[in-house]
Each structure stands twice: as C-alpha cells, then as structure tokens.
Chain A
C-alpha cells in the first residue's frame, strides 16, 4: 500500500513537472517591441591637491625676504589637478590678522608685507623677484588648462614688513583655486 502511495505521489509530482514545463514551453506572443536609448553623463569634478601645502619661512628680519627656493626655505609647492575636467589654477593671499596685523601689498612697508608667487613649471623662478608676481587678496592666474592629473609647481617669496610691532609668529595663508577651464 505504501509502495502504491509512493508511486502515486511520483505520478502526481511528474504530472506537475510536465504541466509546469508545458507552461514554460507555451508560445507566448508578446505584442510589443522595445527600443533603447543609450545615454551617458558624467558629473564634473573640479578638484586639486596642494603638496605639501605647508611652508615654514622661519625667522625673517624686518624688511627682509625669503623664498621657497632650495637655497632658502626649500619648500616648493605643487598643485595637481585631481578632478575629471581641465582646470585653470588661480592663487591669492590674505592680510595677516591673527597675532600680527600685516597688510598684503606689492611692496614692504610698516606693517605691510608682500607675498609673491612664481610658476616654476612654466618659468624660471630661480632669481626672484624675476618672474615673481605679488599676491593680492584676489585670485590671479597661476596657470591654465591643466588637464586631469597634471601638476604645476610654484615658488613663493615673502617680504616681511620693514617695521612691525608684531614679534610673534605670523600666519601668511595662500589659497590656490581650480576652476573649470572647459
């Protein structure tokens, strides 16, 4: 009896499988057609890295100057296009307001300093102030049309005020900006 039940179960199972398979094989006529539009988009990523991003000019006598050239601070900076579009690099400086109060200018003076930059990738920066441009508090072009992953080296030179009441360490920040050049 149990053998009979087992065989009947097998028959039922087999029938179910055959039925399902029949459904699979049933020719469905799909009254539809499709077409595709292959579309792509890439979001622009405008990004840079500055290496190493830190300069320690050390002690500079009043009215003196110091550059990042190898004979002096030896700390050339490198800006790299780390985005996915061609970029223009701009650069600007700041007035010093924390601790000391120095004004960024083209020449040195009392409580007035200059900070100059030079594109060492495209120019000869070894004889400052030749090829050096004084930073302002507005962006000036450092370089243009830098493709992805390309870099620009630049040197800086600082000229501390001819006289100052400040004897503590002054922070003289420089910002490099990348903009879409496309």
Chain B
C-alpha cells in the first residue's frame, strides 16, 4: 500500500533524476561550446573558435622612489622595488629633477636598461625650475618584483621618480610624440593623438605650486605612491581613465599660473598581425597522382609576433572552407615553402583543391586555397594468368618435372601473366604447401620426406631451358618475379616441381601458385 507521503517521495526522486539528467546534458553542451572541440563544421565554424581576449595596454601598478617629502640628492643612483600586479608588458619611469635640466643618466628595471622616451623632457628653467623626463621599456620585461634604479649625476639637486607598469596582450610601445607643458602657465588636460591605435595615456607633471596637481577631466591619479609633495613644489602622475584611439585628453587641471613641466604620452600594445598563409601547391600543374600515393602540399606560413599553425583540408571547390581535414597535415608549423606529405590512401578519386586555415591564437584565423587542384586518379591493376593450369601428372618420387616442352610434350605448359596497370607494379609469386592427396607436403628449397620443391623461372627476362639454372624455389611468401612493370604487357614464366623423396600419400596433390601485381 502506498501512502501519499511515499508517492511524494517517489515523485521527488524522479524529479531529482530528471534535473540531474538535464544538468548533465547542459554541462556537456557548454563544455563542448567552450572547449571549441570537436569541430563539427568549418564554415561557419561549429562550435565557434575560442579566441583570446585582445586587451590593449593598460595601467597596472605604480611605485615611487621616495615616500614622504624628500627625494634623492648627492648620490650616484637611487633604487626602489616595484611590484607589478599582472604580467608587465611595459614599464614607464617618470623622473623629476628639481632643476633646469634632467640629471638622470640611465634607468634600469630589473637590471634591464630602459630607453629615454624621445621628446619626453619638459623643463621649467626659471623661478622654481623643474624637469620631467620619461624612460620606457616595452619588451623583455622581467616579471615579479623588480628593482628600479635611476642613475643620476651626483650632486645636491633633488630627484624623484615614479615607476608605472603596464599590462597588455603583447609587448608595448610609445605611440606618437609626447605632449609637453613647459614654463610658467596653468594646467589643462592635453590631447595625445594615437591615431588608430587604442592606447593607455599617461601624464607626469611638476608644479611650482604648493599643492599636488589634480587629475584633469578623464584622468585619474596613480595615487599616493605616484606623487610627492616637496613642500614648495610637487610632482604627480595620472593616467587616462578610459582607453581609446585618436586624439584623447590626459593630464592635470590647475588654473593658477605656476612653474610647470609636464609630459603627456601614450602607450599601446604592439600591433599583432594575423599570420600570413599561402598555399602554393597544388597549383594544378603536374599535380596528378594515384590513390595511395603521397602528395606534398606546399605552403608558406609566417607570423611576426606569434607562433602560428595551419590545418589543411581538401575541398571539391575553392570556396566555402567546407572541405575535409587532411590527416597528418594538421597543426603544421611556420616556414617558407614548407611541405606536408598527404597520404592519399583511401581517397575517392577526383580533383580537389587544398586549403589551409592558419591561426596564431590571437587574431582571427586566416585561410588560403590552392590556386589549382590535385587530381587523384584511381589505381587500376589487373593481371590474369594464362592458362593458369599446370598438370604435372604422375611423377615418381624424388623426381623433377618442368613446364618446358621437353618435360611436357609437345609444347610444354609455360604460364603467361598478362598485366594491365596504370601504375608501376611489381609482379610477385608464391607457392603453398601441397595438400589434397591425403597428406601435406611442405614447400621447401630441397625435397625430403613429404617435402617438395616448386621453382619458378622468368622466361621473359631469362633462359629457363636448362633447369635448375635460373630457377628459384618458391616460398609461401611472395618473391619478385618481375619488378617495375606498367601499362599493358605480359611476363612468361616456367615452373619446375620436384617430388618428395618419400610421400606418405599417393593421391593428387594441389601444388598451386599465386601471382600478384602490387604497387611497390
């Protein structure tokens, strides 16, 4: 008897099972979609290819050479530790000299020399002189916490520096020309044009005023670790809140005329170009092969920034990217005039274009169709043996008989292989252990008890008239009777049989021979 509560439990269980099933199906579908494998269709690609996010250069972290209100003075260099948040793709060091000229002689980040940014030195040489200059490193940047060292002219002039690391999907570079503000004046944000490139804009400003410069509209301060207030003058750094291309503002806002020196510049991720792919073969010229032969697909693949690979496909036409993957020619590497060997075993005869789809894992994949087709012809190999029958008849033990006319008068029983092939083939021959007469004779190279010899001789290319000269013992494995024949032709051969020295049976034995034509 089932009580209502039990029914509820059963229904609940059934519901849970159903939910689990649906959840499992959804999980599998999402796993497939987000793993991007296996690919069920190329064009449009199902599931869609997963692309890496293309992040442009972006502000990462800031650090300063000195905290408090005092900078460096009377020393050869000053250093501090900078700790990036993410993998650094660019390093900017703004150096502030409280003087009319820049006294930084070199800057290193993690021991790697940085480059002074061309045109990045802003100077106010009158009143309360101050200088700002920028150093940059856009590649080969060591990761993790690194020591920043500013080498300077050793004198009493005060110096201070800020290090800013920049993240991105690739190395970075300074874009365009830095915009400078020099001499007495007010501060407003400055337009820095980056053309078509999406950039992160930065600004570093020295002010003879008593207050740290305020970030202008659209900019944000790097914070306390990116600024110093010496007392009567200040130095601070900002970066644009957003990122973009074209002419966009970055900088400070200060309406009172003061001694000033400010640098405004833009940093962009190095342009990442998609791979370049050209499939040069097949071009339709001398590109005819037979099924089972190998064909070298020739291509040139390059990528200036990344490691690119290419997958090859064959297609009945030269459009649509709807072909079939060529096994053995997937994930092929870069190179000029590189070949990939395509084994056409199992291919349906026909004419095919070859195309490649190359990817660098960052950009959209690129593809290229061959300019011509490869024609794969069916292999045709046909042989017949005439007359295909040899009756040695009654033979005494330990005796030999050939198919020569002397042994089988009046005209012998020479066998003829007629071949018709559109490829070069080898003609092979083999024998068998004899049976059917009540016992088994072993095929061997010498006769014995229940052991017989069966030999062949190529009459077309040799002289078989004086056996056993030119006769070769058959084995149960194929041996070459004649190699490298093609077209239509024939090969004559003789056989010679030697009976066992003793036989445990006297019935008619089958001593068959098989001839094979096969591609080498």
Instruction: State yes or no: do A and B come from one complex.
Output: yes
Q: Interface residues, chain A, CB within 8 Å of chain B?
A: 4, 26-29, 31-45, 83-85, 180, 182
Could you tell me the dominant secondary structure of chain B's interface residues?
strand
Given contacts A36-B512, A39-B512, contact A29 B392 (CB under 8 A): no
* Set B290, B389, B506, B512: member contacting A84, Cβ < 8 A: B506
Q: Which residue of A lies closest to B513 (CB)?
A: A37
Cα-based distance from A35 to B397 in the complex (angstroms) = 29
Given contacts A36-B515, A37-B415, A39-B497, contact A31 B391 (CB under 8 A): no
Given contacts A27-B346, A32-B519, A84-B394, contact A41 B497 (CB under 8 A): yes
- Check A34–B391 contact: CB distance below 8 A: no
Q: Is B511 part of the binding interface, using a Cβ–Cβ cutoff of 8 Å?
A: yes
- Check A41–B519 contact: CB distance below 8 A: no
Given contacts A29-B291, A42-B506, A42-B507, contact A37 B389 (CB under 8 A): yes
Given contacts A41-B508, A42-B508, contact A35 B379 (CB under 8 A): no
- Check B516–A32 contact: CB distance below 8 A: yes
Using Cβ atoms and an 8 Å threshold, which residues of chain B touch A44? Answer: 394-397, 506
Cα-based distance from A45 to B437 in the complex (angstroms) = 12
Interchain nearest-CB distance for A88 vs B (Å):
15
Using Cβ atoms and an 8 Å threshold, which residues of chain B touch A4? Answer: 20, 24
Cα-based distance from A42 to B391 in the complex (angstroms) = 9
Instruction: Please list 21 pairs of residues, one from A and one from B, whose beta carbons are closer than 8 Å in the complex, sorted by A's number.
Output: A31-B290, A31-B519, A32-B516, A34-B516, A35-B388, A36-B512, A36-B515, A37-B388, A39-B389, A40-B390, A40-B510, A41-B392, A41-B393, A41-B395, A41-B434, A41-B509, A42-B393, A43-B395, A43-B397, A45-B506, A84-B394
Q: Which residue of A lies closest to B385 (CB)?
A: A35
Q: Is B361 part of the binding interface, using a Cβ–Cβ cutoff of 8 Å?
A: no
Interchain nearest-CB distance for B236 vs A (Å):
61
Q: How many residues of B contact A (CB 8 A)?
A: 52
Interchain nearest-CB distance for A147 vs B (Å):
13
Q: Which residue of A lies closest to B508 (CB)?
A: A42
- Check B423–A180 contact: CB distance below 8 A: no
Q: Is B518 part of the binding interface, using a Cβ–Cβ cutoff of 8 Å?
A: yes
Q: Which residue of A lies closest to B515 (CB)?
A: A35
Cα-based distance from A113 to B170 in the complex (angstroms) = 126
Q: Is B292 part of the binding interface, using a Cβ–Cβ cutoff of 8 Å?
A: yes
* Set A26, A31, A84: member contacting B518, Cβ < 8 A: A31
- Check B394–A39 contact: CB distance below 8 A: no
Using Cβ atoms and an 8 Å threshold, which residues of chain A touch B497? Answer: 39, 41
* Set A28, A32, A39, A85: member contacting B511, Cβ < 8 A: A39
Using Cβ atoms and an 8 Å threshold, which residues of chain A touch B510? Answer: 38-40
Using Cβ atoms and an 8 Å threshold, which residues of chain B touch A85? Answer: 394
Cα-based distance from A41 to B511 in the complex (angstroms) = 7
Cα-based distance from A27 to B514 in the complex (angstroms) = 25
Using Cβ atoms and an 8 Å threshold, which residues of chain A touch B437? Answer: 42-43
- Check B516–A39 contact: CB distance below 8 A: no
Given contacts A33-B381, A33-B382, contact A43 B396 (CB under 8 A): yes
* Set A32, A43, A84, A180: member contacting B517, Cβ < 8 A: A32
Interchain nearest-CB distance for A53 vs B (Å):
22
- Check B506–A43 contact: CB distance below 8 A: yes
Q: Is B383 part of the binding interface, using a Cβ–Cβ cutoff of 8 Å?
A: yes
Q: Which residue of A lies closest to B437 (CB)?
A: A42
- Check B390–A38 contact: CB distance below 8 A: yes
Q: Is B499 part of the binding interface, using a Cβ–Cβ cutoff of 8 Å?
A: yes
Q: 4 smallest A-B Cβ distances: which pairs? A: A41-B392, A45-B506, A35-B385, A32-B518
Given contacts A35-B417, A36-B512, A37-B389, contact A180 B396 (CB under 8 A): yes
Using Cβ atoms and an 8 Å threshold, which residues of chain A touch B509? Answer: 40-43
Cα-based distance from A62 to B461 in the complex (angstroms) = 76
Using Cβ atoms and an 8 Å threshold, which residues of chain B touch A42? Answer: 392-395, 437, 506-509
Using Cβ atoms and an 8 Å threshold, which residues of chain A touch B148? Answer: none
Given contacts A31-B423, A84-B506, contact A39 B391 (CB under 8 A): yes
Most chain A beta carbons < 10 A, residue from B291, B391, B401, B454 = B391
- Check A38–B394 contact: CB distance below 8 A: no
